[in-house]
Amino acid sequence: MTSRERVLAAFAHTEPDRVPVNYLGNPGITERLMQNFGVTNGEGLLQALEVDFRSVGASYVGPPLHEQIPGRSVDLWGIRRRYIEHPSGGYWDYCDFPLRHATEEQVAAWPLPSPDDFDVSGVPAACERFAPYALNGSGGYGDIINGNGMLRGMEQTLVDLVTDDPAGLLLADRRLAIQLAVTERILDAAKGRVDFVWLGEDLGTQIAPIISPAVFRKHIRPRYQPFCDLAKSCGAYVMMHCCGSSSWAFDDFIEMGIHAVDTLQPEAADMAPEHLKRTFGDRLAFHGCISTAGPLAYGTVADVDANVRDTLEIMMPGGGYCLAPTHQIQDNSPTENVLAMYEAGRRYGTY
């Protein structure tokens, strides 16, 4: 099978020739893996790991919208980050939260990009270049809680959802409207070649839902439905990234037209592979399950091998599973453990 055929078979709950695989990693581990394989770019690494997924998208070509601040990185949405070092590397941490106390009028005036400032002219060529692979064509994850939280802070964002604060809801609506418009333009430019749209909304802590089902159905679900409807109209699948204990929302996902769920942190409540496969395996495909906070980071090569083998034994039957880490592989994961993950996928993942 080609990579595309392999992924589409898994999404359709049929057994491919082998389990599809994907890679997500922080810059530190990505650089170490590239050095291991002697490659100089991300595409070379994906080929070395035999990754079955690629993405096509739009480039922002509009004007700068926010001033840069010393000691900060400021993106086109106005989100501010500062670099935090730690013993195994570093990361860009969200900070300042410039819309924390903003009114509805101030949110309405906050500069955000226009869909017209995103260039999709390169999408057809990218589709041609990555023809053998399964293609994601999302113009943004959605990410209401995290995305709003990067500008308003997490506490205020959660208060917004519970109290129906018009400022927070307007920010979500403005952001998602832009992403939906860009996604539509990507799908139109791809002319049927995009295979799935990758969305995301973190709905759980490690032990419980982060919001109530009622809040989810009032404020989250309706704002993602247009993305699902758009993908359906273009013949594309929908995959939802969802960290933490989130299986409580999976029946809603199915009703919305979501076909696959990403992340699947096995240590979170009600997220064990056995539970997911037994409860949802005939209705949802799965992408993830190899914890970035488990043997991949803290175990031995043998531990990683056993973890992948055990996960595949549970998730493979009948198709519907793609081998992937639960999130970006962190810099504290030993290179040899990450290599062991993909080697185990090849060893145990053949049908």
Say if 85 falls within a structural domain. Answer: no
Say if 75 falls within a structural domain. Answer: no
Tell me the average pLDDT across 51-73.
97
Q: What is the pLDDT of residue 214?
A: 98
What values do phi and psi take at 276, rounded to 5?
Answer: -65, -45
Place of tokens 């056995």: 274
Count structural domains, the chain: 1
Give the closest residue to 177 by CA, choosing from 102, 101, 259, 112: 112
Query: Is the per-residue pLDDT at 65 higher than 90?
Result: yes
Q: Give 62's contacts (C-beta < 8 A, 6+ positions apart).
A: 76, 113, 114, 116, 117, 118
Q: At what angle do helices 154-163 and 166-190 cross, to 10 degrees?
A: 100
Query: Is the per-residue pLDDT at 263 higher than 90?
Result: yes
Q: What is the pLDDT of residue 88?
A: 82
Place of tokens 């999408």: 123
The half-sphere exposure of 308 on its side-chain side, counting CA atoms within 13 A, is: 28
Say if 180 falls within a structural domain. Answer: yes
Say if 93 falls within a structural domain. Answer: no
Say if 278 falls within a structural domain. Answer: yes
Share of the chain above pLDDT 70, in %: 100
Say if 98 falls within a structural domain. Answer: no
Tell me the average pLDDT across 131-146.
97
Query: Is the per-residue pLDDT at 176 higher than 90?
Result: yes
Give the closest residue to 246 by CA, choosing from 212, 276, 271, 227: 271
Strands 134-136 and 53-55: parallel
- Give the residues across from 91 on adjacent strands: 84
Say if 92 falls within a structural domain. Answer: no
Q: How does pLDDT run across 213-229, given as a tens digit for each residue?
A: 999 999 999 999 999 99
Q: What is the pLDDT of residue 105?
A: 98
Say if 223 falls within a structural domain. Answer: yes
Query: How big is the CA angle at 329 (ends 266 and 155), to the nearest 5 degrees?
Result: 70
Q: What is the pLDDT of residue 163?
A: 98
Tell me the average pLDDT across 293-308.
98
Residue numbers of the domain that contains 21: 3-62+104-348
Q: What is the pLDDT of residue 89?
A: 82
Tell me the average pLDDT across 312-319.
98
Give the closest residue to 289 by CA, choosing from 330, 337, 322: 322
pTM of the model: 0.97
Which domain CATH number covers 164? 3.20.20.210
